[in-house]
Amino acid sequence: MGIPAEQDGQACTFTFQVHTRVGYVFVSQSGYPASEAKVLAMQDEIELAMSAAGLSSVVFDNRKTEAPPPWLRAIMWSWMGNHRSLARVALIQQDDASRKRSMDRATRAWNGISMSWTGRIQIMAFLDERDAEAWVRSPAASPP
């Protein structure tokens, strides 16, 4: 059976680019991510970039994406929770409602997948790329 390539008639239009920057990996995304294969490919590229540069922080620019279906969102949260090298994740959102929703989902993922996340991975959502970059590059574990 597998996971559908389309969800509710909406085709996957997801694209991404992974770039290594000073202190973190930057992932720009756009479109509707309804394909498990594309998300897994993105995760593989992120892991390669992190490993090659010895990095533990990732910034996801979600400003041009549409909300993924719940099953695909669960794949992403599970990947983050199981990634042993990942220490900080910044999410750049297009508006304050999306930012707040991301923080709520991160909290639920921490509680639902593994309480070990709380001490190991820090996740914060932002509206501005500069704020996200400053946070992932800062030595202190402080919210924005």
Q: Which residue has the tokens 């992190």?
A: 50
CA distance 80 to 73: 11
Q: Is 114 helix (H, G, I), strand (E, B) or coil?
A: coil
Residue 28's pLDDT is what? 97
CA distance 133 to 86: 16
Stretch 108-132: mean pLDDT, rounded? 72
* Average pLDDT of the chain to the nearest whole number: 83
CATH number of 11-137: 3.30.750.24
At 141, the pLDDT band (50, 70, 90 cuts) reads low
Amino acid identity, residue 124? M
Token reading at 114: 């593994």
- Show me where the domains of the chain are located: 11-137
Query: For the CA atoms of the chain, what is the radius of gyration?
Result: 14
